[in-house]
């Protein structure tokens, strides 16, 4: 069930009034849980077995940790169970394919059967969310949640279930403990967030996708200008797509009286690669920081280990995004970038002397370059695109000017937002006018109502 | 549990208060409600008596609705049907409505749509032909749509048929129609939104039946507003690919053995009856023209089954008290294929129709109604 479809509109129209009626009763959580399971089961009811399994095991693990010793063993059970689920459903085919390719390279026949299982939507998100609870409990950062219904609602809360933000128990569980305070302002705020997300998804991401898909579908047919523009367009597409989803999720959450975390904060205005990761998919970046980078030692074991830890974290992050070597390549490019620029970014020269615009352009160029590996269908395609870009061959890219205008308008808005002219954006006529424009644009110019979100595949 | 940290609202200033939302919604609603009506004042649409929906606008149901309104206003008698009525192989001055208008004192309007089949026609009448309320209409029945399970949309294998947005989306089930539940729901809702029809009209009339984003990708340096020339395609624009307007015998088309479906099992027949019901519920006087199917093109066994189906349809129409004409086959050389007459055939059909006592009585009743109005 996609947020930008009539099915979701009807779903919300059925769920929300009942939720408002039940919000101060003990039936609030069961209703939210049922709604969340209907939302998730809409893709495939069998997926519910998986989420129930993951939820049930982690709930019991924390109970086990609270009652018996050997807390580490319980934690290991949770980690193995969650990563096992992820490994089997997400990476089974990738591992089998890689092993078979290796065998073929050695001249042996393929012997590892490929599972051929469809990746359950959102598994990477809810598995990480559930696992963070057991780790946080182990570390003493959260209290045990005794109520299974509440815990299950925390794992499966429908606005953020399939593509985040990956919420932490310490933010979300307390909100499920008390009846929500929902005023008319919350509904208005929720609508504001939702409309911005809808605009980002339908007017921007799906539009840019038309060009990106065409070029990346057959990169050998295009020269450097088209490949460069398609890569830049993809950078904006994935930003609008994912941050649009998050905005809609946060908007629906707000209407339910639940505050979900900010997941994107103008990442393309970042002035360093470290800054970029503080602004891009914040819930995942902080997850990897807290549960991978810091346990590996973080920056506490000397400079060399810090770099090793950073590289490992980036590679794992790449692999989290997809079971393919292109994603590992994307993580590797970012790892190299971070290693090369970490010290530079900390120098007074870079901080104070390099003009802001230069820093922003450099970060945007680097991040955009890395997207090549993220978007290309195969590693060979990615290398072909890099090769063509380096060759500077000319052919008319035929990139739609309307798309250029749209992206520039959004970029300009973001620049204004981060400048001293921000108060102009706060004027009531400007805000109302922008909402009217966005809704009109979405209705008149929407590319398609059924393009799934890119991050659903992760 | 500890209190969670305060969460920033967003990384933008687009945050409206409830009152501001009311203003924004009111502006948007006013724009969306008025735009299609304002557009009818802006876009010239003055179809002559021989007008038919241009081929490239076959799926422009908003324009069809507008055309229906004009027909009702002028008091012309609409002839509704598929490409046989539309005139797939002929120009506008050779269609059935043209020949009828030329031979009778009444004016007939071509409300055929190329490629439409009964399942879609029922939807077209239901959602887009409300302007014809109370008028006398001639409804064409083409049994070709019951000549096989595929024509009857009953095959299990999916295939792309015409006008899927007009067919029933949830019930009755059309096994060869695969569309997601979300897609079907969107279609059902958009049928009732004039705005959606108008936007579809803009795409059909000015952007080559493509969405605006797709059009800008195909015309990267063009100004989309510049494409809205307000010049609608002409009704004489031929179908694409241009049909071979020679008699079927010259084209060496072989006779065929149509595997007719039974009326009891036929989705298209049920749909035809729904189309009749929709019209009658709206107070339309209905005259049904059956055929004339190219019986010369059928094998002997198949022809016998066809004639049986024709009798069954005739019996049903008689039971319902619906005046009708089961047109006898035209000369073989008057057909371009299994069901489409050529220009000469339409002229002959018009003469037969006007010679039919039932049709003359139907027209007379219509004239009386008009006079009493």
Domain boundary among A180, A205, A234: A180
Mean pLDDT of chain A: 90
Domain boundary among A128, A161, A180: A180
Do A211 and A78 share a structural domain? no
Do A254 and A400 share a structural domain? yes
pLDDT at position A1: 80
Residues constituting chain A: 458
Instruction: Transcribe B132-177 into DSSP letters.
Output: GTT-EEEEEE-GGGGSSTTTTT--SS----S-GGGS-SSSS--TT-
Residues of A in contact with B9 (CB under 8 A): 189, 193
pLDDT at position A56: 96
B230 — phi, psi (to 5°)? 70, 5
- Determine the 3-state secondary structure of A136 from DSSP: helix
- Determine the 3-state secondary structure of B197 from DSSP: helix
Interface A:B, Cβ pairs < 8 A? 140
Do A208 and A148 share a structural domain? no
pLDDT digits (tens, 9 = 90+) for B90-133: 999 999 999 999 998 779 999 999 989 999 999 999 999 999 99
Token pair for residue B27?
Answer: 């502006």
Shortest CA distance to B108 belongs to which of B75, B61, B132? B75
Q: Judge residue B154's burial from the number of C-beta atoms within 10 Å of its C-beta, 0-12 exposed, 13-18 middle, 19 or more buried.
A: middle
Do A194 and A161 share a structural domain? no
Shortest CA distance to B236 belongs to which of B54, B19, B105? B54
CA B274 to chain centre: 14
> For B252, left (φ over 0), alpha (ψ -120 to 50), or beta?
left
Which residue in B7, B14, B211 has the most chain A C-beta atoms within 10 A of its own C-beta, making it the best mutation to test that interface? B14
Of B11, B21, B216, the CB nearest to A188: B21
Query: How many domains does the structure of chain A reveal?
Result: 2
CB contact under 8 A, A431 and B221: no
Q: What residues of chain A score a pLDDT lower than 50?
A: 449
Do A208 and A126 share a structural domain? no
Q: Which residue has the tokens 């290309």?
A: A376
The pTM for the full model equals 0.86
Domain boundary among A149, A180, A211: A180
Do A201 and A109 share a structural domain? no
Is B157 at the interface with chain A, CB within 8 A?
Answer: no
Q: At what angle do helices A28-41 and A148-156 cross, to 10 degrees?
A: 40
Do A382 and A233 share a structural domain? yes
Do A280 and A379 share a structural domain? yes
**Alpha-carbon distance A223 to A218, whole Å?**
11
pLDDT at position A449: 47
Instruction: Transcribe A253-295 into DSSP letters.
Output: HHHTT--PPP--S-GGG-SSHHHHHHHSSHHHHHHHIIIIITT
Q: Identify whether A11 is part of a domain.
A: yes
Which residue in B2, B7, B36, B221 has the most chain A C-beta atoms within 10 A of its own C-beta, making it the best mutation to test that interface? B7
Q: How are strands ordered across the β-sheet holding B108-112?
A: B108-112, B77-81, B136-141, B285-290, B324-326
pLDDT digits (tens, 9 = 90+) for A106-139: 888 877 777 767 778 888 899 999 999 999 999 9
Q: Identify whether A103 is part of a domain.
A: yes
Is A207 at the interface with chain B, CB within 8 A?
Answer: yes
Do A189 and A168 share a structural domain? no
Do A351 and A244 share a structural domain? yes
Q: Identify whether A317 is part of a domain.
A: yes
CA-angle at B208, arms to B239 and B67, nearest 5° = 65
User: Active site includes A321?
Assistant: yes
Do A313 and A192 share a structural domain? yes
CB atoms within 10 A of CB B170: 10
B78 — phi, psi (to 5°)? -75, 140
**Alpha-carbon distance B170 to A76, whole Å?**
49
Q: Identify whether A1 is part of a domain.
A: no
**Alpha-carbon distance B188 to B191, whole Å?**
5
**Torsion sign (Cα): B220, B226, B231, B232:** positive
- Determine the 3-state secondary structure of A249 from DSSP: helix
pLDDT at position B4: 52
pLDDT at position A457: 55
pLDDT at position B370: 73
Chain B residue with CA closest to A248: the answer is B10
Query: How close does chain A come to B203, measured CA to CA in Å?
Result: 10
Q: What residues of chain B score a pLDDT lower than 50?
A: 1
Mean pLDDT of chain B: 92
Shortest CA distance to A157 belongs to which of A130, A120, A191? A130
Host domain of residue A123: 6-180
What contacts A89, CB < 8 A, 6 or more positions away?
A50, A117, A119, A120, A123
Do A376 and A252 share a structural domain? yes
């Amino acid at each position: 069930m996609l947020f930008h479809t009539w099915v979701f509109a009807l779903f919300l129209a059925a769920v929300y009034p009942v939720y408002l009626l039940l919000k101060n009763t003990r039936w609030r959580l069961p209703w939210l849980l049922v709604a969340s399971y209907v939302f998730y089961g809409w893709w495939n009811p069998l997926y519910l077995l998986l989420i129930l399994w993951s939820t049930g095991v982690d709930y019991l693990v924390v109970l086990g940790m609270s009652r018996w010793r050997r807390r580490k063993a319980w934690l290991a059970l949770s980690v193995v169970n969650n990563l096992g689920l992820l490994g089997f459903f997400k990476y089974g085919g990738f591992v089998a394919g890689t092993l078979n390719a290796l065998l073929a390279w050695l001249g042996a026949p393929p012997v590892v059967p490929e599972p051929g299982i469809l990746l359950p939507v959102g598994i990477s998100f809810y598995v990480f969310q559930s696992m963070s609870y057991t780790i946080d409990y182990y570390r003493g950062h959260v209290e045990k949640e005794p109520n299974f219904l509440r815990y299950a609602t925390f794992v499966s809360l429908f606005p953020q279930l399939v593509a985040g933000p990956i919420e932490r128990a310490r933010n979300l569980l307390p909100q499920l403990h008390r009846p929500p305070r929902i005023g008319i302002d919350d509904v208005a705020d929720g609508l504001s967030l939702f409309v911005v997300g809808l605009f980002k998804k339908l007017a921007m991401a799906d539009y840019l996708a038309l060009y990106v898909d065409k070029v990346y579908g057959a990169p050998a047919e295009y020269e450097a200008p088209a490949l460069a523009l398609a890569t830049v367009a993809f950078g904006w597409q994935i930003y609008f797509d994912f941050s649009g989803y998050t905005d809609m999720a946060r908007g629906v959450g707000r209407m339910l009286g639940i505050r979900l975390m900010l997941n994107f904060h103008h990442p393309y205005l970042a002035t360093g690669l470290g800054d970029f990761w503080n602004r891009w998919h914040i819930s995942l970046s902080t997850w990897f920081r807290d549960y991978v980078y810091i346990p590996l030692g973080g920056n506490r074991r000397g400079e060399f280990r810090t770099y090793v830890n950073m590289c490992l974290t980036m590679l794992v992050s790449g692999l989290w995004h997809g079971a393919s070597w292109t994603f590992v390549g994307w993580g590797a490019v970012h790892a190299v970038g971070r290693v090369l620029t970490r010290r530079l970014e900390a120098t007074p020269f870079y901080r104070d002397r390099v003009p802001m615009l230069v820093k922003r352009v450099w970060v945007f160029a680097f991040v955009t370059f890395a997207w090549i590996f993220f978007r290309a269908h195969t590693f060979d395609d990615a290398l072909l695109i890099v090769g063509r870009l380096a060759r500077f061959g000319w052919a008319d890219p035929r990139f739609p000017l309307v798309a250029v205008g749209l992206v520039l308008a959004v970029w300009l808005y973001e620049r204004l937002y981060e400048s001293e002219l921000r108060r102009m954006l706060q004027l009531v006529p400007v805000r109302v006018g922008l909402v009217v424009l966005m809704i009109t644009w979405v209705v008149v110019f929407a590319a398609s109502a059924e393009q799934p979100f890119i991050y659903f595949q992760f | 549990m500890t209190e969670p940290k305060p969460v920033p609202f967003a990384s933008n200033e687009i945050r409206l208060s409830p009152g501001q939302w009311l203003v924004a919604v009111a502006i948007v609603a006013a724009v969306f409600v008025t735009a299609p009506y304002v557009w009818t004042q802006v876009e010239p649409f003055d179809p002559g008596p021989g007008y038919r929906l241009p081929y490239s606008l076959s799926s422009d149901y908003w324009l069809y609705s507008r055309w229906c309104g004009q027909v009702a206003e002028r008091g012309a008698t609409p002839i509704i049907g598929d490409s046989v009525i539309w005139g797939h192989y002929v120009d506008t001055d050779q269609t059935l409505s043209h020949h009828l208008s030329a031979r009778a004192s009444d004016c007939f309007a071509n409300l055929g749509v190329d490629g439409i089949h009964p399942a879609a026609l029922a939807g077209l009448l239901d959602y887009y032909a409300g302007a014809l309320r109370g008028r006398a209409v001639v409804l064409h029945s083409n049994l070709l749509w019951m000549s096989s399970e595929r024509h009857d949309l009953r095959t299990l294998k999916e295939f792309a048929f015409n006008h899927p947005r007009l067919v029933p989306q949830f019930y009755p089930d059309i096994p060869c129609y695969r569309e997601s539940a979300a897609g079907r729901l969107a279609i059902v809702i958009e049928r009732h939104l004039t705005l959606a029809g108008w936007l579809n009209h803009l795409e059909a009339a000015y952007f080559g039946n493509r969405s605006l984003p797709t059009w800008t990708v195909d015309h990267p340096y063009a100004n989309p507003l510049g494409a809205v020339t307000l010049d609608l395609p002409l009704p004489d624009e031929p179908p694409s690919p241009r049909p071979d307007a020679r008699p079927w015998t010259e084209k060496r088309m072989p006779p065929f053995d149509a595997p007719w479906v039974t009326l009891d099992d036929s989705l298209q027949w049920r749909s035809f009856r729904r189309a009749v019901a929709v019209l009658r519920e709206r107070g339309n006087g209905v005259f049904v023209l059956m055929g004339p199917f190219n019986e010369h093109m059928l094998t002997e066994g198949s022809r016998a089954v066809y004639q049986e189906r024709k009798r069954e349809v005739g019996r049903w129409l008689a039971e319902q008290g619906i005046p009708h004409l089961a047109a006898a086959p035209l000369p073989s050389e008057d057909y371009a294929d299994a069901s489409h007459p050529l220009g000469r055939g339409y002229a002959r059909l018009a003469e037969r129709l006007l010679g039919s006592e039932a049709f003359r009585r139907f027209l007379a009743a219509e004239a009386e109604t008009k006079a009493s109005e």
